[in-house]
Structure 1
Amino acid sequence: MTHAAQPAAQLGLWRVLAYGVPGLPLALMGIPLYVYLPPFYANELGLGLAAVGLALMLTRFWDVITDPLVGFLSDRIPGRHRRKLLMATGIPLLVASLWFLLRPGEGVGLWHLYLWGLAAFLGWTLIQIPYTSLGAEADPTPHGRTRLAASREGLALVGTVLAASLPVLLGSEAPADVLKAVFWLMAVLLPLGFLVMGLGTPEPATHRPVADWRHGWPLIRHNRHLRGLLGGYFLNNLANGIPAALFLMFVADRLDAENWLGPLLLYFAAGIAALPAWTWAARRIGKRRAWGLSILLAAVSFAFAPLLGPGDAVWFAVICAVSGLSLGANMVLPASIQADIAGMDSDAGGGDRAGLFFGLLGLATKLALAVAVGLGFGVLSAAGFEAGDADTTALALAYGALPVAFKLAAAWLVLSILTDTEPPPREAMP
């Protein structure tokens, strides 16, 4: 029998669950932002696919500056509750920006989308980076970090399923109605979630000395763990972002099954169901191997998507369910690995840079999704494809073939370049 030689987690179940509560409302904007918002602005507001894709991609490029800056700032703020304080400043900015972004008036242009998208993403960054950094500090043990990440991302999956179910719950599939509902859910649930997390999750009273950023960047540049993680994470999220951006068009134009949301719900439901299994696998074979295998599973299952056509909606649901099994691993394990990397860096004398490290992880996520929107819509625009066209070959290749290529590259990075960050397994007698 093998088991991991790791110390026991320090936080009880209630505190672990309390930490994860904000993950639910934060996830509500995921599907609307990448599935409903682009076609809403492009088609219903008449701004065009290529223009909307470019505008959204440009808003995310500002994260090159804001994500590391917010991460560094969250490390520098004095006081015991520095992470929670920064989160509290981001909530009103995010909610106010979403009012304008998700509820645009008639005749708005690209500047409206661009500027309010910038403000919303900044507010989200002010919340998300301190939030994930706190997950690396609240419980210093490797398994404890995995439990916190699983709580956060498990409830995020619940929030994602809720967002995907909104057309059914509302009785309306109009993007404007869905986006309006998302705003009100965010406005109510996000402050409540922050209150539960703030009361239930401890923030360490003492911190390590904060590393000078002038000395920090060279260390980060030479950190093999960090390079492997960010490279694999970027490519895998790029592979996930392309089909997310093209999902509605693929279902409507390629499968001729417009407004059929069953596959989307199956995808996220499978991610929730498989989350405990990936957490268990991470303890048995290591976080890196478990994550790499999950990426390969998604690549193999999604490779059949370009072969589908009209009447194949059931097979598409099967592909979504199988590929969705890897979702929980991708949401939990990279964040847990990053927490281990931050702890290793701090133990090695790097100082307190958890916020900066998670800022880089957030940056990789946002850049990948930004490039995914621009690349997906750009490929379709270059091929001359428009929504409703009879020839959907370009759509099938962009939706299915591109993600598989990126996932295979991500799996190679994770399994070949990234190295283990937790204590290795040891042999023990039963």
Structure 2
Amino acid sequence: MNPNANLSLGQVLAYGATGLPLAIMGIPLYVYLPPFYAQQLGLGLGAVGLALMISRLWDVILDPIVGFYADLIPGRHRRKTLMLIGLPLFLLATYFLLNPPPQVGIAYLYLWAMLGFLAWTLITIPYTSFGAEADPTPQGRTRLSASREGFGLIGVILAASLPVFLTSHTSGETQAANGDLLSVVFWLMAILLPIGLVLLFVAVPEKPATRRPIKLSAGWPLLRDNRQLRGTLVGFFLNNLANGIPAALFILFINDRLAAPQALGPLLLLYFGAGIVALPFWTWVAHRYGKRSAWGFSITLAGFSFLAVPFLHSGDVTAFAMVCLISGFSLGADMALPASIQGDLAGADADAGGGDRAGLFFGLFGLVTKLALAIAVGLGYGLLSLAGYQSGDSHTDALAWVYGGLPVLFKLAAALIVFRYLHDTESLVISSTKIKEVSP
């Protein structure tokens, strides 16, 4: 470990621990939930895709606002205060979202999804901006980001392993789409998330604001004048769009294209397991060759690994497992490095006189992430609906190309943006822009 780091190893781990229960919800919200409501509850692919897209688009608008107020709140505990406010709302909304009654309408899904994503924002935006400030050195931010994403990968693996241990009781259902699984995931998260937040609040001190916060309207000049930030956000958007489409359609691809529902849990474990094993490797590559180069190469690797996916057919589980292994290997960089790069940009901006706006930076990151995921689920389910695809359909070419073809285009475009428009951020100096300050 870096002897000049501001935080001890124990504090770095305490910070990252909250990422585990937050990540446990990732697979249910993006993989299990859409087909559960579309198929088992009978709401349909198109309606579910539209409802989830609209609920996330509302959340997109709220991200920079939450980031702004995370900067504006005075005192030493501004990040922790917002996380504490978001916790009960998140538990309430996800309970109803993951434990629906047998007869529900699309309005039920829209309401609780919208509230759940709002509460998610109240926790995650302050949490990630907290990580950019707790240790302001480039290596320190990488350590905190790697800790958060490493715990996050453990949480994802835990969620992915649950279908292996839970048995479906209804004929024709896949294990991963079973309502019992969603309920178990909720209670696991509901126990671990408060514990993680207690560890964070007790072990990791929050530094008080040292600069006056700025107006929310300064977000536009921030984007207009900061080429590095624009390039990072565009690359991040395209990369998340490429990740979101396969996530939303994963269960359908495994069941209908590969005809291997029994392989769902093992394939998820292989993918995320490869990611967590590769995380130290990508951290080393970032330290040796720069974060930009490491992230761009990982995106390219994942894109090329998906080239064969549209040509896979029923029974090609081994070939698809290789795709999961290679694309999963790139996941470690894909999750840890963008947030670390964003922290470097926020730190360089503050040093150049940009004011105290780390929350606004990460609000913009959250906006781009959720916009990409909203478009991904709407685009994926919408294209399948337009193509006349029905779950269980033996004519799955449309599913194969939407699932495996579109992500390749978006991944390669993201890699081009990263390599062409980004520079290594470790020694970045950003020109100061004129901003208007406001009192806390």
- The two structures have a TM-score, normalised by structure 1, of 0.95
Report deviation, 1:196: 0.6
C-alpha contact 1:84 1:198 (8 A) present in aligned 2: yes
Report deviation, 1:206: 4.3
Following the alignment from structure 1 to structure 2, what is the Cα–Cα distance between the partners of residues 324 and 160? 12
In structure 1, the partner of 2:136 is 140
- Aligned counterpart for 2:211 among listed residues 208, 211, 224: 208
C-alpha contact 2:209 2:356 (8 A) present in aligned 1: no
The answer to which of 256-265 and 123-132 deviates more is 256-265
Following the alignment from structure 1 to structure 2, what is the Cα–Cα distance between the partners of residues 191 and 383? 44
Following the alignment from structure 2 to structure 1, what is the Cα–Cα distance between the partners of residues 222 and 191? 41
Matched, 1:387 2:391: yes
Report deviation, 1:221: 2.2
- Aligned counterpart for 1:24 among listed residues 13, 17, 20: 20
**SS of residue matched to 2:405:** helix
Alignment of 1:53-132 (within 5 A): 53-132=49-128
C-alpha contact 1:262 1:317 (8 A) present in aligned 2: no
In structure 2, the partner of 1:179 is 182
Report deviation, 1:242: 0.5
Q: After TM superposition, which residue ranges in structure 1, 4 or more long, deviate above 4 angstroms?
A: none
**Deviations, residues 10-29 of structure 1 (Å, cap 9, x unaligned):** 21100000000110000011
In structure 2, the partner of 1:337 is 341
Matched, 1:225 2:221: no
Alignment of 1:17-416 (within 5 A): 17-172=13-168, 173=175, 174-260=177-263, 261-416=265-420
What is the aligned-residue identity percentage?
Answer: 64
Following the alignment from structure 1 to structure 2, what is the Cα–Cα distance between the partners of residues 36 and 294? 26
Following the alignment from structure 1 to structure 2, what is the Cα–Cα distance between the partners of residues 202 and 43? 46
**Deviations, residues 3-51 of structure 1 (Å, cap 9, x unaligned):** xxx9942211000000001100000111111111111111111110000
Report deviation, 1:382: 1.0
Following the alignment from structure 1 to structure 2, what is the Cα–Cα distance between the partners of residues 19 and 340? 18
**SS of residue matched to 2:205:** coil
Matched, 1:423 2:423: no
Change (3 A) 1:166 1:59: same
- Aligned counterpart for 2:6 among listed residues 10, 26, 34: 10
Following the alignment from structure 1 to structure 2, what is the Cα–Cα distance between the partners of residues 340 and 212? 21
CA RMSD of aligned residues (A): 1.3
Change (3 A) 1:234 1:216: closer
Following the alignment from structure 1 to structure 2, what is the Cα–Cα distance between the partners of residues 59 and 341? 29
Following the alignment from structure 2 to structure 1, what is the Cα–Cα distance between the partners of residues 253 and 371? 23
**Deviations, residues 239-273 of structure 1 (Å, cap 9, x unaligned):** 01111111111111111111312221100000000
- The two structures have a TM-score, normalised by structure 2, of 0.93
C-alpha contact 1:70 1:125 (8 A) present in aligned 2: yes
Following the alignment from structure 2 to structure 1, what is the Cα–Cα distance between the partners of residues 217 and 160? 43
C-alpha contact 1:235 1:409 (8 A) present in aligned 2: yes
C-alpha contact 1:7 1:143 (8 A) present in aligned 2: no
Q: Which amino acid aligns with 2:393?
A: D
Report deviation, 1:52: 0.1
**Deviations, residues 308-359 of structure 1 (Å, cap 9, x unaligned):** 1112101111110111011110110000000000001101111000001001
Following the alignment from structure 1 to structure 2, what is the Cα–Cα distance between the partners of residues 398 and 337? 30
**SS of residue matched to 2:29:** helix
Q: Which amino acid aligns with 2:425?
A: T
Structure 2: gaps spanning 5 or more residues: 169-174, 429-440
The answer to which of 295-304 and 211-220 deviates more is 211-220
Report deviation, 1:207: 2.4
Following the alignment from structure 2 to structure 1, what is the Cα–Cα distance between the partners of residues 20 and 377? 23
The answer to which of 270-279 and 205-214 deviates more is 205-214
**Deviations, residues 380-400 of structure 1 (Å, cap 9, x unaligned):** 111111111111110110110
Following the alignment from structure 1 to structure 2, what is the Cα–Cα distance between the partners of residues 9 and 413? 32
Following the alignment from structure 2 to structure 1, what is the Cα–Cα distance between the partners of residues 208 and 365? 25
C-alpha contact 2:60 2:366 (8 A) present in aligned 1: no
Following the alignment from structure 1 to structure 2, what is the Cα–Cα distance between the partners of residues 189 and 96? 15
Change (3 A) 1:309 1:216: closer
Q: Which amino acid aligns with 1:103?
A: N
**Deviations, residues 271-321 of structure 1 (Å, cap 9, x unaligned):** 000000100111111101100000000011111111111121011111101
Structure 1: gaps spanning 5 or more residues: 1-5, 425-430
